[in-house]
Chain A
Amino acid sequence: MTGPALLVVEQLSVDLPTPRGRLRAVDEVDLELAAGHTLGIVGESGCGKTMLSRAILQLAPRRARLSGRVLFDGRDLTRLDAEALRRLRGRSIAVVFQDPMTSLNPVLTIGRQLSETMREHLAIDGSAAARRAVELLAEAGIPAPEQRLRQYPHQLSGGMRQRVAIAIALSCEPRLLIADEPTTALDVTIQAQILDLLARERQRRDMAMILITHDLGIAAGRTDEVAVMYAGRIVERAPTARLFKAMRMPYTEALLAAIPKLDAPPHTPLPAISGRPPDPTRPFPGCAFALRCRCCAERCAEQKPALTPADAYRHQYACWHPINPIGA
């Protein structure tokens, strides 16, 4: 870690009551993120990535039970009252959601949605907010921004809508941006543009970013550090370059193998991860990945491996039989 941590997550767990019992969506997650750095959180659908991001913002569903601490800039968000949290959200921590079709209000104009947040947090008047909105849209790469202000979300394309959502998130100069699968709902050709936009604005504003994705390929090029999540836990965590050079956890390897490769000959079968994650309402004593793992041994099904202490490369993993022996 370089520099003091902006965000520290300690032993954060989220339990959801369900008809079949308590569901542990996030299981004792620890994270640190330094100001100006990018952390990638990678994992398959349902592994708790989104719930983790909501829990950081204290936006988990009302019936969810949170435990652990979330320190943002030294303040414990789990102990803040509703008003203090409200002032923090959008101002210091902003979010870009997965689907811009649903994360923008369909009946309000772009201009109104943009200026609303600024007027709430920055105490500026309507005309100043409108001027700022035009600048933000232009910075987000939207052509003819003045005209967009009067348009409604349905009049824009998916990529444009996501640019608007990013402009809204950036409008109050947050210090941390949480991008929750920001390109999953978009056309592949637009994905790179949106990710470039996020990376460029992140660097220009020197803000920290959490990039949540199910695609290791996206995380590879655009993060300083990657945390791999599986069944609510962080199973491997390392600086990005180190992770791709010497991944230790068979799950990470399987995730990487599941990305289609351009240079593979046509009709090459895509290696999928067989099976499904274990039922989160029924705790499994061993490693949650054991039943799907190619290196599974007896011990894996009986004892849950803890995240190892960081090694010299700040690499951590939770596995009894790591692949790629040390020094690889």
Chain B
Amino acid sequence: MPARRGRLIFWLAVGWIVVVGSAAIAADWLPLASPSDMDLLARRAGPSADHWLGADALGRDILSRLVFGARISLTVGLVAPLLGLVIGGTLGMLAGYFRGLFETLVVGGIDVLLAFPPLVLALAITTYLGQSVLNITITLGVLSIPALTRVARAATLTFAEREFVTAARALGASHGRILMRELLPNIALPLIAFFLLAVAVIIVVEGALSFLGLGVPPPAPSWGGMIAEGRDSLDTAPSIAFLPASTMFLTVLAFNMVGDRLRALTDPRPGAS
């Protein structure tokens, strides 16, 4: 891909994330209909001056539900991987730096977590602790720990053997300083790149959980829930399902694009970007 086109796509992706993100943040102040108010005369209506993107099977404004749904999808999609980034990143760095028994325990632990069927974990948590945004976020966050631990550990392993780490020790740096000042800046970019890919995955997973009825409880709008509700009217009003589906598609694509671009920038091999 020519560099200029790659850059254009990168900025388009960043632009989309900014638009969706700021709409989600400012949802309360935007001149939008309430996402739960039903306009029974406009059920399955197409776009109009009242409902810019039409209304769903219960007459609720789709644009408004998309924007408020973005709140939940993005909150879960950002907070859950952030949880994984903090916990997994810390564990991975410590394991890669100190090695030994601690590393064995961490690697064993994440193998166990990886082997555990994620859907069963999600089912168990929603059954025993109830369906809420917090519980879903924690579930998905825990599920994202293993991957981020591995990325952090692999990156730390390669840098911990470099001479500048020995040099820092020879200059009297403490373990904490080596981890925070010498290693963290080096592994931050690959970690952030992977974090963005994780955001994309988690948004899809949250959608899938909502689609299965394990996600955010209705009437709160979420993209996956909207797709599920739109399924009933696919033949008469396909836009009810397709609009949230395309929004999710574009958002996930945008996060992947940004993540890929960052990963390519950190890849030292010539031509990789």
Q: Which residues of A contact B (CB under 8 A)?
A: 54, 57, 59, 62, 86-91, 94-95, 97, 99, 102-108, 116-117, 120-121, 165, 168-169
Instruction: State how many angstroms separate the Cβ of A140 from the closest Cβ of chain B.
Output: 16
Structural contact, A91 and B170, CB atoms closer than 8 A: no
Structural contact, A103 and B181, CB atoms closer than 8 A: no
Structural contact, B181 and A116, CB atoms closer than 8 A: yes
Report the Cα distance A108→B184, complex, angstroms: 11
Structural contact, B170 and A89, CB atoms closer than 8 A: yes
Q: Can you sample 14 A-B contacts with CB below 8 Å? A: A62-B99, A90-B170, A90-B173, A91-B172, A94-B170, A94-B171, A97-B163, A97-B170, A102-B163, A105-B186, A106-B164, A108-B185, A165-B167, A169-B171
Structural contact, B163 and A107, CB atoms closer than 8 A: no
7 A-B pairs with the lowest CB-CB distances in the bound complex, closest first:
A90-B172, A90-B171, A89-B172, A102-B163, A95-B170, A103-B167, A107-B185
In the complex, chain B residues 138-178 whose Cβ is within 8 Å of any chain A Cβ:
162-164, 166-174, 177
In chain B, what residue has the closest Cβ to A116? B181
**B229, CB-defined interface residue at 8 Å:** no
Residues of chain A with a CB closer than 8 A to B185's CB: 105, 107-108
Annotate B11-33 by CB proximity to A: 1 below 8 A, 0 otherwise.
00000000000000000000000
Structural contact, A88 and B171, CB atoms closer than 8 A: no
For the residues of B in contact with A, the DSSP-based class is helix
Q: Which of A57, A62, A97, A107 has the largest count of B CB atoms less than 10 A from its CB? A: A107
Structural contact, A121 and B164, CB atoms closer than 8 A: no
Instruction: State how many angstroms separate the Cβ of A59 from the closest Cβ of chain B.
Output: 6
Residues of chain A with a CB closer than 8 A to B99's CB: 62
**B182, CB-defined interface residue at 8 Å:** yes
Structural contact, B170 and A121, CB atoms closer than 8 A: no
Q: Which of B164, B169, B171, B173 has the largest count of A CB atoms less than 10 A from its CB? A: B171
Report the Cα distance A75→B205, complex, angstroms: 60
Q: Which of B162, B173, B181 contacts A108 (CB 8 A)?
A: B181
Residues of chain B with a CB closer than 8 A to A105's CB: 164, 168, 182, 185-186
Query: Knowing that A116-B177, A116-B181, A168-B171 are A-B contacts, what are 16 other residue pairs whose CB atoms are under 8 Å apart, sorted by A's residue number?
Result: A59-B169, A59-B170, A89-B172, A90-B170, A90-B172, A90-B173, A91-B172, A97-B163, A97-B166, A102-B162, A105-B168, A105-B182, A106-B186, A107-B186, A108-B182, A120-B177
Residues of chain B with a CB closer than 8 A to A108's CB: 181-182, 185
Report the Cα distance A105→B163, complex, angstroms: 9
In the complex, chain B residues 175-218 whose Cβ is within 8 Å of any chain A Cβ:
177, 181-182, 185-186
Report the Cα distance A149→B175, complex, angstroms: 25
Structural contact, A59 and B186, CB atoms closer than 8 A: no
Annotate B234-251 by CB proximity to A: 1 below 8 A, 0 otherwise.
000000000000000000
Report the Cα distance A169→B168, complex, angstroms: 10
Structural contact, A86 and B173, CB atoms closer than 8 A: yes
Report the Cα distance A139→B182, complex, angstroms: 26
Report the Cα distance A116→B163, complex, angstroms: 17
